[in-house]
Structure 1
Amino acid sequence: MDAQLRQGFLEFRAFVNPLVALRAQLVGEPYLLDQVVDGRLVDAEGMAYTDLLSGWGTQAFGHRSPAVEAALIAYLQGASPSIYPSGISPFAGLLAARLEQRCGYDAAFFASGGSEAVEAALKLARGATGKPRIACIKGAYHGCTFGSVAMMQAGPYRDIFGPHLPQVDALPAGDMDALERALADPQLAAIVIEPIQVEAGVRVPDPAYLERLCGGTGPDGILLIADEIQTGMGRTGHFLDSGAWPRQPDAVTLGKALGGGAMPLSAMLTRRPIFDRVYGQLALAEVHASTFGGNSLACVAGLAALELLDDAMIDEVARKGHLLRAALDEHVAPSPLVGAIRGKGLLLGIALQAPDHPCYQFDYLGAPELAAQPAIGMMLVHRLYKAGFIAQICGHAWQVLRLQPPYTTPDAELAACARAIGEALDYLWDLQ
């Protein structure tokens, strides 16, 4: 490993977040990653890893996608400005037009991260409707800004940051009666929902719930906002997972893979009549803005990502998702430690159920401060690291292993992943 890079890892521990570095060391996470070879991550010792997490969904096209890098290099070798002082970026215009062609939304706001896109959607909802209340779904993860944290699942990501944004209510997932009460509230501006609640354990909403949600909301009443930061950009076998809903949501947020794995880029997409209710006057046209939102380099990466994500690639995601699910059903589902496998496309969750035995508890493993959490998920992650696979548990559901590999993962590696999970589960079952 390059000496400067090695020093950078040490300085992360010293100056960025010491406990994150300690956590990685304690669980054996391969964080001393040195390079990318043929799309796989390689550590300082030369061991290659299959990334089943795809960099938290950012690396959908594989680490260091050659097509995205080529587009960025071509831009950097040119002479176009990175930032247009007028705020009128041709690259943002091109990207917005490509997104409209793909999913029909003709008004776009660009930012750098998913939290910013969610914040833009919340402001849009209140501004467009003149109503104060926002509803979300319990178990959500929408980001780390105050608006998104107000919609966060209760727990460590939320509790210590109160008081929270007022008039934000969380509806129990799948509860039709609670949904009906929310829809009857004359002060409700919007309902925000993830097509799949990834951090809550890869939970897929019931079709009947989605049908009522779509039927009870609309652009002239309560706005429906789909947070597609984890599910969009082809992840479930559709460009947008909400594209298969009974109706198109009034606003959508995108992020992660939108930047091609190379640049931070997010978007809030809506339709022009809704956008213009808030920003349709000259005096209000720039009251919600982001200095680097829509910067040239990020939009070039976004354009390259959309060029890659054609219908053929989305079909491949669906095919690979079926292949991975079949392999999991064969090698993983029979384990007594597995309660369920759920999800869509290349976004799957394996819900684990550990026996009531001390060896599956954090206090037995020397981490009593985590005793309230199930340990089985992290134990499985640790075994997968040893086998050359990078995976992770869900943020609000530590007993669920999340799988969201890059779209470019070869079929053989997906099958090997399922076998490795099955072998790791056999090892963990034999510990008792």
Structure 2
Amino acid sequence: MKTIIFAFTIVIFITTTIFSQPFILNIRPDRDTLDYHQISESVRVYNITAEYLQRIDLTTNETIDVFKDDEMIYNVFYLIKDSLALIAQATTWSIYDIYNNIIVKTFSAPYDCMIDAVLINNSIYGFSCDDTEYGDFKTKIFLLDLQGNGPIALCKIPFYGFDLGINCSTNGDIHFQIEDTNYVPLRDDLTILVSFSTLNNQIVNQMNLSELGRTGANGYILYKGKKGVGIILSYYNSNSVESYFRIYNFNNGSASNFIYHMGNAEPTNTIDNKYLILSETAYSAGVEYNKGNIFIYDINTTNLVKTINLPPWGNLYTFENFPNNIYYVKDIELLERQIYILKLDSIFNVLDLTSLNPSSAIVNSSGFILTVNGKGFDTVSTVYFNGQPRATTFVSDSVITAEILSSDVIAVGSFPVWVKDKYSISDTLQFSVMQVRINSRISE
């Protein structure tokens, strides 16, 4: 892997190229550096002393190993459109161009622990998690430029080991959540929303997150969204968790209506803010995992418009550079990992049939090519004849053809024809199989 130091103008250039595939970075223990001690014949305890990153191409599943330098990797923070990342290791931090596989800059780690980092006005604003004050945990908001100059500590806020739900609005403000430390034990219904201005580097507003949530909830959570549009969860604990999600636009102060979901789920919003995507979660032995049930809601109408069921224990990914795709990866640590690419254009595609050509055949005739006319067809559309899939050829979004077998027309009757793709099933047309017509002539 090459290590090159660029000026910031070069960083912008190399990260604004045309991207042909999305990547994810997965932290893995370096087995070459594992120490262990045997505590019984069947139990071995490993000490992980180093980690590396897997750079996984979600289109081809190609995997390469990066940052194999005998250091621990504490976290990965995406800075620019999922293409420029800050890699936080034990002793060094690196700015990494994911698409070109280049380390842009490496510098000494200014903090041992970091919660999150965002890039605003060519500077990194980070949140550390290794500070205490009078016995209370604190996080420092600090400023660091892309050449590693700094850090400059700006202020301290309470920290209790949870995601801050950081959202950045277009005016340069950073919005995040903290707990109200005036109450012991802490109360989930008193979460505070903090706004920090990067123009004057100070906190400019604080309010109860409940003011933007649903009244009377047991707790409120702010989730990171996209381009200044965050997600607020209001939840009620009864026999089961009742969740009310709302999209909140920090750029203009507008909010959507509440979207109701029964149960626990991790939310994300599409880049155009048309849809809210919920990945249903559950707990096993204290570990939260994805159940594989994905619910897609129309944010404007709050209606559930699609449900997709995938294998459990996967991870859901979305990318700003690929706004129309949802990626779900199971067994990410394996080379034989399963990657599901859900294309929103196809998910909401409506298959509609208008005519068949021919629309009938003579019983016991030879096989033939059936032309199906309609709309919404794509390369994964399949024609079904009397409930059985038939070899299908894509011609256009309004025309596909299918190979009908001679065995399909061995009986007289009316047989249903429909089209199916990954996510949709069309309406049904009828194909007729008729007796041979015998023309007779009576002569006088």
TM-score, with normalisation over the residues of structure 2? Answer: 0.25
Structure having the larger proportion of residues in strand: 2
Bigger fraction of residues in helix = 1
Q: Which has the larger radius of gyration?
A: 2
Greater relative contact order, per chain length (Cα 8 Å cut-off, separation 6+):
1
